[in-house]
Amino acid sequence: MRGSGRTYWRLLVAGFRRQSTYRLAALGGLVANATFGFLKVAILFAAVRAAGGELEGYDVGAISAYIWVSQAMLGSVNLNGRTDLAERIRTGDVAVDFLRPVDVQGAFVATEVGRSLFAFLPRGLPTLAIGVLVVGVPLPDHAWALPLGLVSLLLAVTISATTVYLLATSGFWIVETRGLQILYMVLSGFLAGLFIPIWFFPEWLAVLASATPFPAMLMYPTDVLSGRVDGSGALMHVLVQVGWLLATVAAGQWLTRAGRRRLEVQGG
């Protein structure tokens, strides 16, 4: 990648500061997160109790942790597929990005990660606090859950950015990407474990979900942070996330080079 580490750090900070200007949007997101969190509490608590107090390894405490940790992550993980880059590719403005002395993918991911990290302050942490104070969220039994969970959380945010970048680069080959973006939005939330844990799925569907990067954006960090998995399971989750990060970065580099050649052939 072109550009120094200091450059990408500045882009990350710029993304953080840019997102900090949307404070009312963050407040609206907090209200939405908490509201849907309470709806999920009503539905999933009832499901666990109807199953006799435990469902696929989740008791009421574990399902509460799943609900509020995953809700807290929503503002920071891009599951809707929308990006400014897709529009820049559609209009041809991305040609200017290629002239800059930084890697297009690296600049995009650094900025997106910065924006995502800010969302934890006015939206993510307050959502989790509401769950802890109003419903109750048990602390993980293992001391390593928090530090390893934070690593998993950062990986999740970064994988989200690198995967959405792949979606945006499809614009080099198709005129309009909104259809793909809508498909992405429908599939990502379901396969990431946003509505119910993917471990509640039939086995074949859980395997299918695990073959996509979506659980690495939400389900895996939720499992690690809540302490639902043991040490070896948590480490495996993180290693799978690292694998998806490397795969999406490599795919993004290839698509960027191929898209640039296509843009140049078309006169961009």
CA distances from 118 to 75, 130, 265 (A): 9, 18, 39
Per DSSP, the chain holds a count of helices (H) and strands (E) of 12, 0
Segment 187-192 long-range contacts (CB within 8 Å, at least 24 positions apart):
187/212, 187/214, 188/79, 188/80, 188/81, 188/214, 188/217, 189/79, 191/215, 192/77, 192/79, 192/217, 192/218, 192/219
pLDDT score of 264: 59
Residues written for the chain = 268
CA distance 189 to 217: 10
CA distances from 198 to 56, 58, 247, 253 (A): 10, 12, 22, 30
Q: What is the pLDDT along the chain (268 residues), one digit of tens a residue?
A: 566 778 888 999 988 888 888 878 888 888 999 999 999 999 999 999 998 888 888 999 999 999 999 999 998 999 988 888 888 888 888 888 888 888 999 999 999 999 999 988 888 899 999 999 999 888 887 888 889 999 999 999 999 999 999 999 998 888 788 888 999 999 999 999 999 999 999 999 999 999 999 999 999 999 999 888 888 889 999 999 999 999 999 999 999 998 888 775 455 4
CA distance 224 to 193: 14
Domain boundary assignment for the chain: 5-265
In this structure, what DSSP letter does residue 140 have? P
pLDDT score of 171: 87
Q: Which residue has the tokens 């070896």?
A: 232
**Which residue type sits at 22?**
Y
CA distance 37 to 178: 28
Could you tell me if 219 and 197 are in contact, meaning their C-beta atoms sit under 8 angstroms apart?
A: yes
Burial class (CB in 10 A: 0-12, 13-18, 19+), 66: buried
Could you tell me if 52 and 101 are in contact, meaning their C-beta atoms sit under 8 angstroms apart?
A: no
- 117-137 residues labelled b (16+ CB within 10 A) or e (exposed): bbbbebbbebbbebbeeeeeb
CA distance 80 to 89: 18
pLDDT score of 38: 94
Angle between helix axes 60-73 and 23-50 (nearest 10 degrees) is 160
- The answer for residues whose C-beta is within 8 angstroms of residue 239's C-beta and 6 or more apart is none
pLDDT score of 265: 47
Q: In 125-211, which ranges are E strands?
A: none
